[in-house]
Amino acid sequence: YRNRSLEGLKTFSYLEELILDNNLLGNDLLLPRLPHLHTLTLNKNQITELESLLDHLAEVVPSLQYLSLLGNIACPNELVCKEKDEDDYQRYRYFVLHKLTNLKFLDTRKVTRREREEALIRGAFMKVVKPKDAKGSSAAASASPEMHYTPLPAASRDLTNHRGILGKCRYIYYGKHSEGNRFIRDDQL
């Protein structure tokens, strides 16, 4: 039985532990304010946006100390996704700890003092940003889907309208002072 509505939780304002694993919960997850909640597991759901989730949790569950997000796209785990590695996961940990400063335990590991210090200094910069795909709803992509990136200016792409410049060069290179030439003897030429 899977229930996506968390409406009934608001009557349990003194709730301390909440396990919401395998509930098809997505980015629209809305928890009521639970000031005493210290343990929350959201494993194996459909959460893809990490920052909005963490901002919501910081607001509604201020006493949170134990959090697990394994099995969600928002949690870059190399066991779930082959493209992710331990560095991606560590950056994720720093970002989560930057947003939720009271956490003592994240996913399967205790939060270390070094992680907490690193999160304080660099956690804000560890946000994982995904580029929009070609079918995404970004303004540039929707304005001109045929437009592809090119390092050349638009005018130089048209072969019939080129702007070449002809002229004389005053400097002629003979190669006498080249570093490579000092090692070549006349009989090797």
- C-alpha dihedral sign at 124, 18, 44, 2: negative
Helices in the chain by DSSP H: which ranges? 50-60, 86-99, 113-122, 139-143, 154-157
Of 67, 69, 61, 64, the C-alpha closest to 27 is: 69
Domain 7-126 homologous superfamily, CATH: Ribonuclease Inhibitor (3.80.10.10)
Rounded distance between C-alpha atoms, residue 133 and residue 136, angstroms: 5
Gap between the Cα atoms of 40 and 43, Å rounded: 9
Parse the chain into domains and list their residue ranges.
7-126
- pLDDT digits over 80-104, tens only? 666 667 788 888 999 999 999 999 9
116: number of Cβ within 10 Å: 16
What pTM did the predictor assign? 0.63
pLDDT band of 118, cuts 50, 70, 90: confident
Assess contact for 31 and 6: CB atoms under 8 A.
yes
